[in-house]
């Protein structure tokens, strides 16, 4: 039996959450084209139980993208990602382009140099990277001499994900099974539901609105084949509230419909979902609000 905790780190939008979903074969982490989608450390559990190979359980921790913070929420997100480096048994560093000496990848690289744990570089989005560029990225990181392996993947297409898992299981040490083999995350359904709603907000909203949005589940009632969910959407400006609701309430209805359909697939019951929009000015710079919305360390 081999087991261990694996941290996934990288700049915003390099595909960390998409890779985690690909590894697990189902969606537990929300994704969007907008940066800084992941705010919490999302834990996904992969268990391999094949007759011809040792049992292997890897607990992946998908972290927020490491970026230069602009508010207290940004500080929390970056601190969460950096802290993960010292709490795991192995680290996956995702990149999708050559690094800049004064950029985020260089910052992460410096943090990785001080670790004693196995470090793997994952060059993601190889379906979109020209071979000469891939070779440039590969050689530059290989020259650092700090990585135990460098693997190219396409998280969206699932390419080389099996190769990555084989390598991680070979690096894992003997240890216990931390979770039941059929478990894919330890996050409660309420958390996953709030994240689904926030994902739909990211998909539907204008560029300036999404980062100032938080979702709070106010009531979650299970009654046989029906689950009633009442959720508050918080934004920072009155003008943003109007954008979220949309003309005649159409945008909010679209967000609610898309979220409800996915939540029903997640929990396996019919769902009644009611969304409310509230304004909480500058909540991303309020330590109390950040904590109340669930952005706090365990």
| Residue 184 belongs to some domain of the structure | no
Identify whether residues 255 and 218 lie together within a single domain. Answer: yes
pLDDT digits (tens, 9 = 90+) for 32-90: 655 555 556 678 999 998 877 889 999 998 876 665 555 666 566 666 666 777 788 99
Which of 121, 145, 174 is the last residue before a domain boundary? 174
Identify whether residues 157 and 12 lie together within a single domain. Answer: yes
List Cα–Cα distances, 43 to 5, 57, 93, 195, in angstroms.
Answer: 9, 13, 16, 13
pLDDT at 272: 97
Identify whether residues 47 and 139 lie together within a single domain. Answer: yes
Q: What is the DSSP string of 128-169?
A: TS-HHHHHHHHHHHHTT---SEEEE-BTTTTBTHHHHHHHHH
pLDDT band at 205 (very low <50, low <70, confident <90, very high): confident
List Cα–Cα distances, 25 to 43, 65, 158, in angstroms.
Answer: 14, 22, 9
Q: Are 4 and 173 in contact (CB under 8 A)?
A: yes
Which residue blocks in the chain are alpha helix, DSSP H? Answer: 16-24, 72-84, 104-113, 131-142, 161-171, 189-204, 238-245, 250-267, 287-292
Identify whether residues 72 and 168 lie together within a single domain. Answer: yes
pLDDT digits (tens, 9 = 90+) for 181-195: 999 988 888 888 998
- What CATH number is attached to the domain comprising 107? 3.40.50.300
Structural element, H or E, at residue 269 = none
pLDDT at 224: 86
Q: For the chain, how many structural domains are there in total? A: 2
Identify whether residues 137 and 225 lie together within a single domain. Answer: no
| Residue 59 belongs to some domain of the structure | yes
Is it the case that residue 155 has pLDDT exceeding 50? yes
Which of 174, 199, 217 is the last residue before a domain boundary? 174
pLDDT at 298: 47
Is it the case that residue 170 has pLDDT exceeding 80? yes
Sequence-distant (6+) residues with CB within 8 A of 178 are 3, 45, 57, 59
Is it the case that residue 287 has pLDDT exceeding 90? no
Identify whether residues 114 and 154 lie together within a single domain. Answer: yes
Identify whether residues 67 and 110 lie together within a single domain. Answer: yes
CA distance 6 to 42: 12
Instruction: Note down the domain range covering 160.
Output: 2-174
Which residue from 145, 136, 153, 127 is spatially nearest to 10, judged by alpha carbons? 153
**To the nearest whole number, what is the mean pLDDT of the chain?**
86
CA distance 122 to 164: 8
Identify whether residues 211 and 167 lie together within a single domain. Answer: no
Task: Please tell me the least confidently modeled range out of 17-26, 104-113, 215-224.
Answer: 104-113
Identify whether residues 166 and 243 lie together within a single domain. Answer: no
pLDDT digits (tens, 9 = 90+) for 223-267: 889 999 999 999 988 989 998 999 999 999 999 999 999 999 888
| Residue 183 belongs to some domain of the structure | no
Identify whether residues 147 and 288 lie together within a single domain. Answer: no
Q: Which is it for strands 270-279 and 226-235: parallel, antiparallel or unpaired?
A: parallel
pLDDT at 289: 80
Which of 174, 200, 228 is the last residue before a domain boundary? 174
pTM: 0.77
| Residue 179 belongs to some domain of the structure | no
- What CATH number is attached to the domain comprising 276? 3.30.300.20
* pLDDT (average), residues 20-24: 93
Instruction: Kindly state the tokens that stand for 252.
Output: 């909010």
* pLDDT (average), residues 149-169: 95
List Cα–Cα distances, 228 to 112, 200, 218, in angstroms.
Answer: 45, 18, 11
């Amino acid at each position: 039996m081999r087991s261990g905790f694996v941290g996934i780190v990288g700049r915003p939008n390099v595909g960390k959450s998409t890779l985690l979903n690909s590894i697990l074969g189902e969606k537990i982490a929300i994704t969007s084209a907008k940066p800084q989608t992941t705010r919490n450390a999302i834990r996904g559990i992969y268990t391999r139980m094949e007759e011809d190979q040792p049992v292997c359980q890897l607990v992946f921790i998908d972290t927020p993208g490491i970026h230069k913070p602009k508010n207290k929420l940004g500080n929390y997100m970056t601190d969460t990602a950096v802290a993960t480096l010292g709490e795991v048994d192995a680290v996956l560093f995702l990149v999708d382009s050559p690094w800049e000496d004064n950029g985020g990848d260089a910052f992460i690289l410096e943090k990785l140099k001080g670790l004693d744990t196995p470090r793997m570089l994952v060059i993601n989005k190889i379906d979109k990277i020209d071979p000469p560029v891939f070779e440039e990225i590969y050689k530059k990181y290989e020259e650092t001499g700090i990585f135990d392996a460098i693997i190219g993947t396409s998280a969206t297409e699932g390419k080389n994900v099996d190769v990555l898992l084989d390598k991680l299981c070979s690096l894992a040490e003997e240890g216990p099974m931390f979770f039941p083999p059929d478990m894919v995350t330890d996050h409660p359904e309420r958390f996953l539901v709030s994240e689904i709603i926030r994902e739909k907000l990211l998909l539907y909203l204008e560029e300036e609105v999404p980062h100032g949005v938080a979702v709070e589940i106010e009531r979650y009632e299970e009654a046989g084949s029906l689950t009633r969910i009442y959720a508050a959407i918080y934004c920072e400006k009155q003008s943003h509230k109007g954008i979220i609701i949309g003309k005649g309430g159409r945008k909010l209805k679209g967000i609610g419909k898309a979220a409800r359909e996915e939540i029903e697939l997640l929990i396996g019951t019919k769902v009644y979902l009611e969304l409310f929009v509230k304004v909480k000015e500058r909540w991303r710079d309020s330590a109390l609000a950040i904590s109340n919305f669930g952005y706090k360390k365990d």
